[in-house]
Amino acid sequence: MTTATKTTLPTGERADLLEALAKQRHFLRFTTRDLTDEQAGQRTTVSELCLGGLIKHVTSVERNWVRFIQEGPSSMGDFTAMTEDDWARRADEFRMLPGETLAGVLAAYAETADRTDELVATLPDLDAAHPLPKAPWFEAGAQWSARRTLLHIIAETAQHAGHADIVREALDGAKSMG
Q: Is pLDDT of 5 > 50?
A: no
User: Who contacts 37 (Cβ-Cβ below 8 Å, separation ≥6)?
Assistant: 52, 96, 100, 101, 102
Write out pLDDT tens, residues 137-157.
889 889 999 999 999 999 999
- Res 64: pLDDT: 94
Q: How far apart are CA 107 and CA 92, in angstroms?
A: 18
Determine the average pLDDT of the residues in 7-15. Answer: 85
Q: How far apart are CA 19 and CA 24, in angstroms?
A: 9
Write out pLDDT tens, residues 94-113.
999 999 999 999 999 999 99
User: Who contacts 166 (Cβ-Cβ below 8 Å, separation ≥6)?
Assistant: 45
Q: What share of the chain is helix, strand, coil (3-state, %, to 5)?
A: 65, 5, 30
Write out pLDDT tens, residues 28-86.
999 999 999 999 999 999 988 999 999 999 999 999 999 999 999 988 888 888 889 88
Q: How far apart are CA 39 and CA 128, in angstroms?
A: 42
Of 4-13, 134-143, 151-160, the least confident = 4-13
Q: Is pLDDT of 1 > 80?
A: no
Q: Is pLDDT of 176 > 90?
A: no
Q: What distance, in Å, lies between the first and last C-alpha atoms of the chain?
A: 27
- Res 7: pLDDT: 57
Q: How far apart are CA 127 and CA 138, in angstroms?
A: 19
Q: Taking the model in full, what pTM does it have?
A: 0.90
- Res 102: pLDDT: 98
**DSSP string across 55-107:** HHHHHHHHHHHHHHHHH-GGGT--GGG--HHHHHHHHGGGSPPTT--HHHHHH
Beta bridge partners of 145: 129
**Rg for the chain (alpha carbons), in Å?**
17
At 144 the three-state DSSP class reads strand
